[in-house]
Structure 1
Amino acid sequence: MRGCAAKARLGSLGAMLAGAVALTGCMGSSLGEYPGYPSTPDGQPATTGETLGTGTVRVGLLLPMSGGGSASSIATVFRNTAELALSDFQGADIQILVKDTAGTAAGGKAAAQAAISEGAELLLGPVFAPAVGGAGSVARASGVPIVAFSSDEAVASRGIYLLSFLPRGDVRRIVTYAASQRKRSFAALLPDDTYGAVAEAAFRQEVGRAGARIVTIERYKVQGGDTTDIAEKARRIAANASQIDAVFVPAGNVAPFVAQTLTTSGVNLATTKMLGSGQWEATQVLNAPPLSGAWYPGPDGAGFKAFAERYRAAHGSAPPRNASLAYDATILAAGLVRSAGASRFSERVLTNRDGFLGIDGVFRFNRDGLNQRGLAIYEVTGSGSRVIAPAPRSFGSGS
């Protein structure tokens, strides 16, 4: 494994991120030929629309190009990012078929149909959950896997893998770390919405897994800028502060206000630790003095920083944080074509337990379509954050 990691670190960013397959590429027992898996046929059908690259293996890239507003902006960034990844991966034997989903279920279905009819063996995207659902209905029937960018766990399934950062991954990392720091009694303040429901289920599971206990869970409603309900629920938690070691508040947009409310309600946040999620990775959160000393999980930022510099040089603007998803997906596809032969996109290869190495560190797909990521733990300083527990560089044996 050490040799694999060293190989992934050699040379430029592109050479390092050819390491999206470095962890699997050294595992001969996990890869190789897969009888019955169809290789790219001779005489590919004609393509329609934009293509990136000139390789022999076709991969669909499903993006909300005509979605309008922020959707179209995301589509443009993800398209540019995929192109950058191809330029970084020398000799990539893939051709990317860019298809428009419009961000809708019908659009996702049509985009997937078009890509598959033109010979795509793997689909990257869509970005939004409805489009993933639409694309999945076609891809599943055709036996073509999807590596999607949505963070809605409800659209994951066998053959539809989510590359995004998922709520349960954040919860597992932060609760496990807090428990390792002798935090044994937990509370949570969660939004009363779908995200809050997913976070609560994961929170209950991970606190139980850690052998700790839950003192209370409060759910709040947000109506515009009205913080009345958040304040009331935070004060309920404060009333039990003597029994609580840590308070989980995953929503970054309310975390500074909650910290201030807990403090004014008599909670000592130096001993009762506030815990967050990847949503905290925002300047207004990390620079909020009431949150100083709080912990949250996130990917190692070094890889993204190097990528962002290359993107800015190529396109004149900084990429959004989630642009790394399109880069890693493209590198993953190109790397598997190079390393896995005819079995390249089989379930056995895509769910390899050793995982893959990308911009944001190690990740792997589960057979149910969800993923696991190696995350660091950060501490809020009031003027940014600092790493207090580094992200793992590999998945441990038996994990």
Structure 2
Amino acid sequence: MENTTAAAIARIAGPSAGGFRVFTACFAGLRRSALRCAGAFAVAGLLAGCMGSTLGTAPDGLQSLPSTPSVPAVTGQTIGTGTVRVGLLLPLSAGGSASAIAATFRNSAELAIKDFQGSDIQLLVKDTAGTAEGGRAAAQSAIAEGAELILGPVFAPAVSGAASVARTSGVPIVAFSTDTSVAGPGVYLLSFLPAGDVRRIIGYAATQNRKSYVALLPDDAYGAVTEAAFRQEVGRTGGRVVSIQRYKVSGSDTSDLTAKTQALVSVLPQADALFLPAASVAPFVMQSLMTQGGNLANIKVLGSGQWDAAQVTSNPIMAGTWFPGPERSGFDALSGRYQATFGAAPARNASLAYDGTILAAGLVRSAGPQRFSQPVLTNRDGFLGIDGVFRFLANGESERGLAVYEIAPGGMKVISPAPRDFRAAS
């Protein structure tokens, strides 16, 4: 155990590691070994061995201080029985797919508490209804009941509502939205962000001598964020943007998409890469290009993390294309435990609630009174969760270590492994 810990600290935190970095290092090394054997039940016990010595020891003279005042009463659902309260804000009553996401995230958080044996946190589950007003009310309730950290909400309006309360109370948020407009100091996004996908796939393409790019992007907020990151990364790697086409899709009307795909045909000979991030249209566009005479012989088609879906990865027309994403071994292990516990496979984003809960529990154990402070949460060495290494930036956005996949006739394969720490990623 001591050798494993020392190696992990040297690899992740370096020789100047402090208390909270020790947690990071131990979590990193131990999660890998736990997930390889398809379970994380030993994480908490092993983590306790890593912590060792002084992190939980009160300074001289403080042991005899009076006990803390009684804590506020809790209303609604709770998960766990620890002494440190953490809000879990979910769209429980939003209906449809939103309520399904809420149920999955709640179950994932419960599984994380079970896996982290001896966790000293209690999750206060609050309903946001997916709205700004609901997010505000849920955050108010959680903070009034003693929450020191908020996990969630899921949707951007609810994050904005919760942030309006949490910031004034000094309570940080680790949210699950992908909308970077709601990120900021004290509001951190644990989700997979479009800019991270772009950096990884364009960066990798550049190492494979791809220099001239065309792109087909949705004409919406996602497309705008993706385009900005795309232009920046192509420039950073010394490439050039030949053409960008922006399309609108209204229901089943794909006429504009078809027209913009046709416009790409004439510029493809000037390029060696096509960036096509939206999974919902990728197979359609590939078929349309071939039907319209687009020559893809010298073109490498590049996607985004959205492509990690059966309708894309199992479609023969997508063979040979590349896309970024987390390595799957960790999620596959989580999925197996989730299905055994709850009787159904989880959605792919279930790992967000699981990792957020494990992160909270680990920091309570390792970082003492500073557990959810800005320096701890924005530790530059980051943390290692189900989906690999991640870290929060001061602006509230996050960075992740991603792999690059190639879609093959028999499935998808890793062609560039995910980095195991951020020094390897830089």
Please, what TM-score do these two structures have when normalized by structure 1? 0.92
| Residue matched to 2:71 | 44
Alignment partner of 1:121: what SS?
A: strand
| Residue matched to 1:274 | 301
TM-aligned CA distance change 1:17 to 1:383, over 3 Å: farther
| Residue matched to 1:353 | 380
Deviates more, 1:262-271 or 1:248-257: 262-271
2:219 equivalent to 1:192: yes
* Alpha-carbon shift at residue 76 of structure 1 (Å): 1.2
Counterpart of 1:255 (choices 282, 295, 302) is 282
Q: Contact 2:247/2:256 (CA < 8 Å) preserved in 1?
A: yes
| Residue matched to 1:315 | 342
Q: Contact 2:265/2:295 (CA < 8 Å) preserved in 1?
A: no
* Alpha-carbon shift at residue 77 of structure 1 (Å): 1.2
* Alpha-carbon shift at residue 16 of structure 1 (Å): 7.2
Alpha-carbon distance between aligned partners in 1 of 2:154 and 2:342, rounded to the nearest angstrom: 21
Give the counterpart letter for 2:408 in structure 1: T
- CA deviations on 1:127-186 (whole Å, 9 max, x unpaired) are 111100000000000000000011111111110000111111111100000001000001
- CA deviations on 1:27-72 (whole Å, 9 max, x unpaired) are x9xxxx9xxxxxx954211111111111111100001111112111
Alpha-carbon distance between aligned partners in 1 of 2:190 and 2:120, rounded to the nearest angstrom: 22
Q: List runs of 5+ in structure 1 lacking aligned partners.
A: 34-39
Q: Contact 2:44/2:117 (CA < 8 Å) preserved in 1?
A: no
TM-aligned CA distance change 1:233 to 1:383, over 3 Å: farther
Give the counterpart letter for 2:77 in structure 1: E
Q: Contact 1:17/1:357 (CA < 8 Å) preserved in 2?
A: no
Deviates more, 1:388-397 or 1:121-130: 388-397
Where do 1:123-272 residues align within 5 Å? Answer: 123-272=150-299
- CA deviations on 1:302-360 (whole Å, 9 max, x unpaired) are 00000000000001000000111000000000000111111100000000010000000
Give the counterpart letter for 2:132 in structure 1: A
| Residue matched to 2:62 | none
Q: Contact 2:419/2:425 (CA < 8 Å) preserved in 1?
A: no
| Residue matched to 2:319 | 292
Give the counterpart letter for 1:144 in structure 2: V
Q: Contact 2:31/2:385 (CA < 8 Å) preserved in 1?
A: no
Alpha-carbon distance between aligned partners in 1 of 2:212 and 2:195, rounded to the nearest angstrom: 19
TM-aligned CA distance change 1:254 to 1:18, over 3 Å: farther
| Residue matched to 2:413 | 386
* Alpha-carbon shift at residue 15 of structure 1 (Å): 5.2
| Residue matched to 1:9 | 32
Give the counterpart letter for 1:176 in structure 2: G
TM-aligned CA distance change 1:237 to 1:25, over 3 Å: farther
Where do 1:112-123 residues align within 5 Å? Answer: 112-123=139-150
Alignment partner of 2:245: what SS?
A: strand
Q: Contact 1:190/1:217 (CA < 8 Å) preserved in 2?
A: yes
Alpha-carbon distance between aligned partners in 2 of 1:147 and 1:140, rounded to the nearest angstrom: 12
* Alpha-carbon shift at residue 236 of structure 1 (Å): 1.6
Give the counterpart letter for 2:79 in structure 1: L
Alpha-carbon distance between aligned partners in 2 of 1:375 and 1:196, rounded to the nearest angstrom: 21
TM-aligned CA distance change 1:262 to 1:16, over 3 Å: farther
| Residue matched to 1:302 | 329
Deviates more, 1:327-336 or 1:50-59: 50-59
Where do 1:317-336 residues align within 5 Å? Answer: 317-336=344-363
Give the counterpart letter for 1:50 in structure 2: Q
Alignment partner of 1:364: what SS?
A: strand
Please, what TM-score do these two structures have when normalized by structure 2? 0.86
Q: Contact 1:99/1:115 (CA < 8 Å) preserved in 2?
A: yes
Q: Contact 1:186/1:215 (CA < 8 Å) preserved in 2?
A: yes
Alpha-carbon distance between aligned partners in 1 of 2:337 and 2:192, rounded to the nearest angstrom: 22
* Alpha-carbon shift at residue 290 of structure 1 (Å): 2.1
Give the counterpart letter for 2:144 in structure 1: S
Give the counterpart letter for 1:106 in structure 2: E
| Residue matched to 1:65 | 92
Alignment partner of 2:260: what SS?
A: helix
* Alpha-carbon shift at residue 253 of structure 1 (Å): 1.1
Q: Contact 1:127/1:148 (CA < 8 Å) preserved in 2?
A: yes
Q: Contact 1:300/1:391 (CA < 8 Å) preserved in 2?
A: yes
Q: Contact 2:403/2:417 (CA < 8 Å) preserved in 1?
A: yes
Alpha-carbon distance between aligned partners in 2 of 1:219 and 1:321, rounded to the nearest angstrom: 28
- CA deviations on 1:236-289 (whole Å, 9 max, x unpaired) are 222112210101000111111111222334444342011000111111111222
Counterpart of 1:93 (choices 120, 138, 141) is 120
Q: List runs of 5+ in structure 2 lacking aligned partners.
A: 1-5, 9-24, 60-66
TM-aligned CA distance change 1:25 to 1:237, over 3 Å: farther
Alignment partner of 1:396: what SS?
A: helix
Alpha-carbon distance between aligned partners in 1 of 2:225 and 2:272, rounded to the nearest angstrom: 22
Alpha-carbon distance between aligned partners in 2 of 1:16 and 1:257, rounded to the nearest angstrom: 45
* Alpha-carbon shift at residue 377 of structure 1 (Å): 0.4
Identity %: 63
Aligned residues between the structures:
389
Alpha-carbon distance between aligned partners in 2 of 1:17 and 1:372, rounded to the nearest angstrom: 24
Alpha-carbon distance between aligned partners in 2 of 1:9 and 1:194, rounded to the nearest angstrom: 36
Give the counterpart letter for 1:348 in structure 2: P
Alpha-carbon distance between aligned partners in 2 of 1:304 and 1:219, rounded to the nearest angstrom: 33
